[in-house]
Each structure stands twice: as C-alpha cells, then as structure tokens.
Chains A and B, each alone.
Chain A
Amino acid sequence: MTRLLTVDSLTVALPQGADRPHAVEDLSLHLDAGEILCVVGESGSGKSITANTVMGLLPKTLKVKTGTVTFEGEPMLGLSAEALRSRRGRRMAMVFQEPMTALNPLMRVGDQIAEALQVHGKGGDARARVPELLAAVNLPDPASLAKMHPFRLSGGQRQRVMIAMALALEPALLIADEPTTALDVTTQMQILRLIREIQARKGMGVMFITHDFGVVAEIADRVAVMQHGRIVEQGPAAEILNAPQHPYTRKLIAAVPHGDAAEKAEIRPAPVLVMKGVEKTYQRGGWFGAKAVVRAVHNADFTLNKGETLGLVGESGSGKSTLARCVVRLVEPEKGEILFHGKDLRPLSRQGWLPYRKRIQMVFQDPYASLNPRRKVGDAITEGPITHGVSAAEARERALDLLRLVKLDPSAMERYPHEFSGGQRQRIGLARALAMQPELLIADEPVSALDVSVQAQVLDLLAEIRQRLGLTMLFITHDLRVAAQICDRIAVMQRGAIVELGPTAQVFGAPQHAYTRALLDSIPGRDWTPPALAETA
C-alpha cells in the first residue's frame, strides 16, 4: 500500500478570545491508498478543521501554526492558492454533512457535476460523463435527473449527487465530513455501502469524519479519536471498538445507546391517552394547479398506559411528529378521537383546552430554537405555572427544585439561554415542561441534536425523572438504539401509519413487518456489540 496522506504535528491556532488557544494541536495521522480512516469525536473536537486544513479550505481567521501536510509525496501547506485549487476536486475531493444546502439551489445538478470537470479542463467529456457518474452512485434515470434542480431531490439523492461530483475526476483522496449524519437511517446505510463499494473499486483513500461509533463499526479500517483538538487514541478499528484504552474513548463507547433496556416496571393497562382513527391530511395547490394531497397521519391508533413510555419511531416524513403534535393541538386533525383519560380532546374549544394544556407538556428537538433567547431561564420555567394561576413565589420555589432535579445549578435562574450548552438547554426545556406538573410528557426527538455523551446523560436523566414522578411519556425518535434504551413499547411509523406496535423486546427481537426489519438492518454497526466497560471517571 502506498502512503497517500501524512499529517505531522499539525497545530492550527484559533482566533484570540476563543475557549481554547488551538483548534487542532500537535495532530499526526496518516492514510494509505485503499484505506478508510474514521476520525471520531464530539462537536468542537477539531475533526472538521483537520479535514479543511488538508483541503486548503481553512477560513481566513484560522492559521496553521506548525506542522506539515504531505499529500502524494508533496508538501501541501506551502503551495500557492492556484496549485491547491488545481488539486481540489482533481486529486482530493470532499463531501459535506448537509446535503440540503451543499448544492447551489439555482443550478441544475448535472451542470454542477459538469462544472467540476470543466474547471479542471475536462469539460469536453461532461456530456458523456455526467450520466455515467449519476448512474455510478445508483441514481435512477440519470439523463433526466441531471436536468433537475437540487430542490426536487431528497436528502439522500442530493448526497449521492455530491458523491458523484466528488468522484468526477477520480481523486486519490475522498474526505467525507459527516456525510450521513443528516440522513435517515435506511438512507444512511445505503450511502455508507455506496462509499465503501466505490472506495474498494477505485482504491481511494477515504478520511471519514463522524461522531457515531455505529458508523465507525460499519465502515472503518482504522480509527482516530479526537478530543479538544488532539488525537487521544488511534489504531485499527477492531482494536479501538472492542478494547479502547483511553478514558475518553471508553467514555464515548460507553455512551453509545446499547439497545437493551434496563429492567422495566410492570405496566398495567390504565389508559391515559387513546388515539382512535386520527387523520391529518395536507393539501397543496388551488385555483389552477392540480391538487396534491399528503396523508400525514392515518391508521395510527395506539393506547398509552399510565407510567408507560411509548416510542414512536420512523424516518423523516413518516408522520411521527405530526401525530404527536395532534395530541397537543399544534396540528389539528380532521378526524378521529384523542381520548385523554376518556375525554375526547379534539372537539374542544380553545377555552375548553386550557385545563389540559397544563396536564400535557412537550419537549422539543432543537434546544437552540426552543428557548426564547431574550428571557431568563427562570422566567421561561415559571411562565407556564404563573399563567395557570400559581403565585410567583411558589412558581420560583418549584423552578429551583426542578433545576436541581435536572442537575443544573440554581444560579441558572438568572442567566440567559445562550450561556448554556446544547445538553444544558435541553435540560432547561425539560424543567420547563415539568414545571407544569404534567401527567403526560411528549418528547419530540429530545436527544437528536446532542453529542453522544450528552445524549447519554439526558437519556439517563429522563429515565430517572420518569421513575421518580411516575410520568407517562410519548417519546419520538428516529434513532432505534435510543428507542430501545428508553421505551417500554415501540410503534413503528411509515408514511403516516403505524405498521407495527409491540413491546420493545418483541419489536427488536422478532420484527413482524418488512419495514421494521429494514429499519433494524439499517442500524449502523448492528453487528458490533459495544464492549461492557467498567465506568471510568
């Protein structure tokens, strides 16, 4: 094997005033042709900065202080802008995380791929090569797809276009920066397979950046684990995955949702929430255009018993969030009954709804968007109870208790949301929901936006609170591993309908529906069982 890329004691400085002096510090790694190296770490660990340094795409505010990058035997850091440009796309290519924004919205996808060829003097082949490339990434009907604008394609299709574009000139090095993080689980599996297959066929070297150890288990030959800008551990995939040495690696692997739930308490049938025949349909078009009808929710009956956690799992667009929003009337369904302790909530007026608002609360996915940036955390938590007639002093007292419950310092009351990290904000969101002393908590992807170690903390917290307060919970997630860990029963949704519903162990152990099986097969690293690690401090 030939050595493709060597990064030697690289240090990249952060601008003054950042939380640490260096984005990347004394980093050394190497990559051979025909090898997949996974760079793993949580957000802010410096993995993307490393990739951008290799590509010569560092923002102007970041400067390389020391170190060398050698690619195909040439030192890269001293090269002129033009020399770097001529290598980008031709010898080394990159695929990004967010397929929805990574393509120019005003250019046809075929033209964008052709552009990669043109700027390297291969424009003449574009007509023939573009459909070939699109076919190579398994896109249907390449000729007509090339003429489409990106907004007509799904996330997975766009990511395929990005990969086709990166492969256009058969580069020796492909850097993939979290290329599957924004995708659904089944799509993720397809893209991972695609990358591995193409890599094997062309003998490329791939630097694959991810935060997900499941993905690492799926694709990596070798692994480098990063923390705070440094590589803390590096080695063959099997070694790192099954016998991690460094405490941080051990902590990350221990935090991977392990799938098997803790001892579950016996649930007696005591229905809190019963959904019967609820339907929600969206329509588009009017006057002159043809009508498009989307059945967002149909055939989605379920019963939620007291003290139980029901997981709603499915891919994006499956209707799981819409169904949950129907319960709290953020979405108004056209049909069906929403029975809360036997009382149908659907026909109630706004006024009639008020007493129930308090008893059913919601936690949202995005901890950055779900808190008002101009209100102090204390005000955010006490606002609900005060609106419902609790005295300010009592609401404050309760808020302090809740902050303790979600393991935040009482001083948080006087601070603003931007002073907290994502995980802390999600706990604030939880405290805000709990301040109403709800019987039913609806959690809509509450851990999806969080790093894996933070995710583990929030999940533990949820489990603990649930036990202490006897909460009933509807838990929405796209991550089956998370669902397995926290839910008593699981409902699998596909295209607006619940296709399978049963106890967690049964759904995972003996899935009945073909779609459930497809989902389970797509869990990255499903063949890898994280080793049981003694807790490390």
Chain B
Amino acid sequence: MELSKLPGYLLGRLVKAAIVILAIVVCNFFLIHAAPGDPASIIAGQSGAADARFLEQLRAQFGLDQPLYVQLWIYLKGVLTLDLGFSHRQQVAVASLLWDRLPATLLLTGAAFVFALSVGVAMGALAALRVGTWGDSIITVLALTFYATPLFWVGLMLVLLFSVTLEWLPSFGMASVGVDLHGIDVVLDVAKHLLLPALTLGLFYVAVYARLSRATMLEVADQDFVKTARAKGVPEGRILRRHILRNALLPIITFAGIQAGQLIGGSILVETVFAWPGIGRLAFEALLARDYQVLMGVFFCTSVMVVLFNLITDLLYAVVDPRVEVSA
C-alpha cells in the first residue's frame, strides 16, 4: 500500500463507519419499540401506584406521548452528544454505567483474545509441521473438543476442578472481597480472578485458530514459492518463518478481526457464570429488568466496537498484504 493514499482512505472509511453506526442506532431504537410492554407502565408497576393519571404524567415527563419520530430525533441528538439516556432502575446515566463496566469487560475479553490467538496459532503451526503424526492427531482432537463443548459447561467444570476441588483459584468476581491489598498484590489478585473466565471464553477460539492456522499453513506450504525458496537453499526454519507463516497469517487476521469485533458482545454468558462485573452481565441484568435505556446503550457500544475493529482489520490487511489496494 502506498502510504500517501492513507489519509483519504481513512477519511472515506470513517464517513462510511459513521453512517453505518447511525443506521444501527435507528434500528436499535425501533427494535426496542417493537418489543411488547410500555416503559411507563413498567416504571409505574415498579413504584406500586398505577392509576391512569399517574401513567399519563409519567409519559409526559419522559416524552413518551410525543410521536415516534420526535422521540427518535431526541434519542439521536442524545447519541450524537454521547448522552445515552438515563437508567430509571439504577438511577444513573447510562453512559457512566457503561464507562464503569467497560474496563472489566475489555480486560476479560482482551485477555481471552490474546490467549486464543497465541495458543491457537501455535497449536495450529505445530500440527501443520507434524502433519499426519501423533502430535497432529492429538492437537486436532483437542481442538475439536474445545470447539464442540458448550462454553458455560467448560466454565462450570473449570470452577469445579480449580476452585471447588483444588481450591487454587477463585470462582467468581473480579477481586477478593474484604481484603486490603496494595500495589502488585492487587494486580495478582485480579489476575487470579481473571484466569478461569478468560480461559473459558478463549478455549472456543483457540480451537478455531488452531484449525484455521493448521489448514492455511498446509495450503501455503504446498505453494510454488515455498518450493522456490527450497530450491535456492533456504533452511527449513527460515522457510517456515519468512515464507509460510507470513502468508498463512492473512486469513487468521481476517478471523481475528471478526473475533475482536465481538469482544464486548460475546462475553455475556461467561460474565454471568463467573459474576464478572462487565458489560455482558450489565446487558443480561438490563434485559431481565426491562431496563431498555441500558440495553440500547450496550447495543450502541457493541456496534461501535464491531465497526471499529472491522476498520482496524482492513487497515492491518492493507499494511501486511501489499496486494491490497486501499480504495474506499
């Protein structure tokens, strides 16, 4: 890629991304409105007094008596100023609620992502090198097992083994409760809590990366330019690093981009199982409590993430693969 083309390309892509996000926000808005149940009656129900006049008053107070397009306009204006509304249930602004929870989720999913990518690609590469041998079979079987086992079950079993039986690791939460820790101890404490949920979340992707990288490496190893490298006397180790692995990385980047986009939305189950105080659990609780403002905030947050990581993936691709022409 020619670097001079980059700013124009980036600008074009950002404009497109903004349009996509706007469309998603509008869709979310209508989706929530299509769901049965009227927010006013929920609030009234929760406060215990539900006569018709109180309902009217609530509707007027929250603007629910306005026509739909006016409500949409108000919501869009809010989103543009990053005001995502107010959670009546928790009595906090949605944006600050999301800000509080975001770091925990990013820590969890980021750790799972790095774990899955590094272990998965390493396993795949190893299997490809030893194709047709015992090592290959063991890795393939292992990957298939990870692939086929449901997440929550893996989580529960890990808890059973490491927390209940062996008592090595804590089973829930993000930090130990009721202990006063400082400095490095805090980090270690969080790391201990992080291990099981990150492992649970990552195992499925380990399998995906292992299988993907094994297949692409075998495919690349068969290509003509690898033979060329051999014919000019390049040692096997260098062929692997400089010729096979680099080319095999391309499809892996594509998939990593997809996974990264799901970093926030994909952890609902794991966060619930391990009581991890992140966005996923927030979404789950908001759903149960019909806290629609929060739910819409989570949707907005995840969609921004997906669009963002798609853009990053495409940029990365253009940097890694010289054949990719950037044109918006």
Contact = CB atoms under 8 A, between A and B. Distances in A.
Interface of A: 55, 57, 85-90, 93-94, 96, 98, 101-107, 115-116, 119-120, 149, 151, 162, 165-166, 168, 285-289
A119 B328 contact: no
Contacts of A287: 12, 327-328
Contacts of B242: 104, 107, 115
B232 A96 contact: no
A169 B291 CA distance: 73
27 contacts: A85-B233, A85-B235, A88-B231, A89-B231, A89-B232, A89-B234, A93-B232, A96-B224, A98-B224, A102-B224, A102-B227, A104-B246, A105-B225, A106-B320, A115-B242, A119-B234, A119-B235, A120-B233, A149-B322, A149-B323, A151-B323, A166-B232, A285-B327, A286-B328, A288-B9, A288-B11, A289-B327
Contact of B225 (A55, A89, A101, A120): A101
Return the 5 tightest CB-CB contacts between A and B, nearest first.
A89-B233, A89-B232, A88-B233, A101-B224, A149-B322
Nearest to A104: B225
B238 interface: yes
A180 to B, nearest CB: 16
Contacts of A57: 227, 230-231
Chain A interface SS verdict (over half) = loop
Which of A116, A119, A165, A288: most chain B CB closer than 10 A? A288
Given A105-B247, A289-B327, A165 B224 contact: no
Contacts of B325: 289
Contacts of A87: 233
B135 interface: no
B33 interface: no
Given A103-B225, A288-B8, A94 B231 contact: yes
A151 B172 CA distance: 53
B107 interface: no
A106 B228 contact: no
B243 interface: yes
A116 B243 contact: no
Contacts of B228: 96, 102-104, 162, 165
Contact of B328 (A88, A96, A288): A288
Contacts of B225: 101-105
Interface in B208-247: 223-225, 227-235, 238, 242-243, 246-247
B89 interface: no
A104 B247 contact: yes
Contacts of A116: 232-234
A336 B233 CA distance: 55
Nearest to B226: A104
A90 B247 CA distance: 26
Nearest to A106: B246
B130 interface: no
B231 A55 contact: yes
Which of B223, B227, B246: most chain A CB closer than 10 A? B227
Nearest to B325: A289
A296 B58 CA distance: 68
Contacts of B238: 119
A120 B235 CA distance: 10
A286 B225 CA distance: 33
B230 A105 contact: no
Interface string B4-16: 0100110110000
B321 interface: yes
Contacts of A103: 225, 228
A182 to B, nearest CB: 11
A90 B233 CA distance: 8
Contact of A96 (B5, B227, B243): B227
Contacts of B321: 105-106
Nearest to B326: A289
B234 A115 contact: yes
Given A119-B232, A120-B233, A288 B327 contact: yes
Interface in B170-228: 223-225, 227-228
Given A87-B233, A151-B322, 7 more contacts: A55-B231, A101-B225, A104-B229, A105-B247, A105-B323, A151-B323, A289-B5
Contacts of A168: 232
Contacts of A289: 5, 325, 327
Contacts of B9: 288
A93 B327 contact: no
A115 B232 contact: yes
B12 A288 contact: yes
Nearest to A86: B233
Contacts of B12: 287-288
A85 B232 CA distance: 8
A402 to B, nearest CB: 38
Contacts of A105: 225, 247, 321-323
Contacts of B246: 104, 106
Nearest to A101: B224
Given A90-B233, A94-B231, A119-B238, A286 B224 contact: no
A306 B67 CA distance: 73
Contact of A119 (B8, B11, B233): B233
Nearest to A98: B224
Which of B223, B224, B235, B321: most chain A CB closer than 10 A? B224
A87 B229 CA distance: 13
Contacts of A151: 322-323
Contacts of A102: 224-225, 227-228
A422 B60 CA distance: 78
Contacts of B227: 57, 96, 102
A289 B7 CA distance: 12
Nearest to B5: A289
Contact of B223 (A93, A94, A101): A101
Interface string B254-287: 0000000000000000000000000000000000
Interface string B42-77: 000000000000000000000000000000000000
B233 A286 contact: no
Nearest to B225: A104
Contacts of B5: 288-289
Contacts of A115: 229, 232, 234, 242
Contact of A106 (B231, B235, B247): B247
A165 B232 contact: yes
Nearest to A108: B322
A85 B11 CA distance: 49
B326 to A, nearest CB: 8
Interface in B307-328: 320-323, 325, 327-328
A151 B323 CA distance: 7
B328 A93 contact: no
